[in-house]
Amino acid sequence: MIIHILSAVPELLESPFQHSIMKRAANKGLLQVYIHNLRKWAINKHGQIDDYQYGGGAGMVMMCEPLANAIEELQQEKKFDEIIYVTPDGNTYNQSTANQLSLKENILIICGHYKGIDQRIRDKYVTKEISVGDYVLSGGELAAAIIVDSIGRIIPGVLNDETSALTDSFQDNLLAPPVYTRPEDFNGMKVPDILLSGNQKKIEEWRYEQSLQNTQQRRPDLLKD
């Protein structure tokens, strides 16, 4: 899978994909992430990519020309399956969207800044608008990193144990059960006996019960779906 990211502050994306599971995905050739500096397509030698908004009001708007030129140049190499704009007024991101996106081959993510991007770019090029939650970040880069990370880890072959992504929270609309590791007794706090029983069937039943309880207590909205 190939993911291109268009950003006015590419430095913010230098590290997130160079470690841990994302690094493994890249090393296995399963995920390639290309980060592009939007200023490469600036309208003048001052690196301008934004301007005042028509109608007045505080905050700059990212201009059409740099974005359109960047998108069209990148598109020449390979057509994008999705052009995603990350924005607080997009559809709220969840595991189901991550699962769908992990099946695509070539994605472009556009990171906004300031007041956002000119509406005409959204109308002409963008195929999906995603918010990572009901709060406002200072730019789309961290949102893009969340999306790439959540997609990258579920690409088949990235995780060693294929089942480990399937047993994540949200994969069944259920939160994950509690997990324990050594020691068996930590300052008097013991690991539940069932996990030491060796009875795999009973362990799975216990885990499912715990997942259900966690979800009922913390996220009853998930059970309604």
Contact residues: ligand ADE, CB under 6 A:
86-88, 112, 131-133, 135-137, 140, 143
Sign of CA dihedral 88, 92, 93, 97: negative
Please name which of 45, 203, 171, 53 lies closest in space to residue 102, comparing C-alpha atoms. 171
Question: Any idea what DSSP says for residue 50?
Answer: E
Report how far residue 151's alpha carbon sits from residue 87's, in angstroms, rounded to the nearest whole number.
18
In one letter, which amino acid is 42?
A: A
Rank residues 131 and 215 by Cβ distance to ligand ADE and give the closer one: 131
User: Minimum distance from CB of 138 to ligand ADE (Å)?
Assistant: 7
> Least distance (Å) from ligand ADE to the CB of residue 88?
4
| Cis peptide bond prior to 183, omega within 30° of 0 | yes
For the bound state, the minimum distance from the C-beta of residue 151 to ligand ADE, rounded and expressed in Å, comes to: 15
**CB of residue 152 to ligand ADE, shortest distance in Å:** 18
Decide whether 112 or 177 has the Cβ nearer to ligand ADE.
112
89/184 with CB nearer ligand ADE: 89
C-alpha span between 31 and 152 (Å, rounded): 7
Residue (136 or 189) nearer to ligand ADE, CB = 136
Q: Toward ligand ADE, which CB reaches closer, 136 or 179?
A: 136
Residue with the shortest CB distance to ligand ADE: 143
Q: Bridge partners of 6?
A: 36, 110
Nearest distance in Å: CB 28, ligand ADE: 28
Q: Is the CB of residue 86 less than 8 Å from the CB of residue 151?
A: no
Residue pair 144/86 in contact (Cβ under 8 Å)? The answer is yes
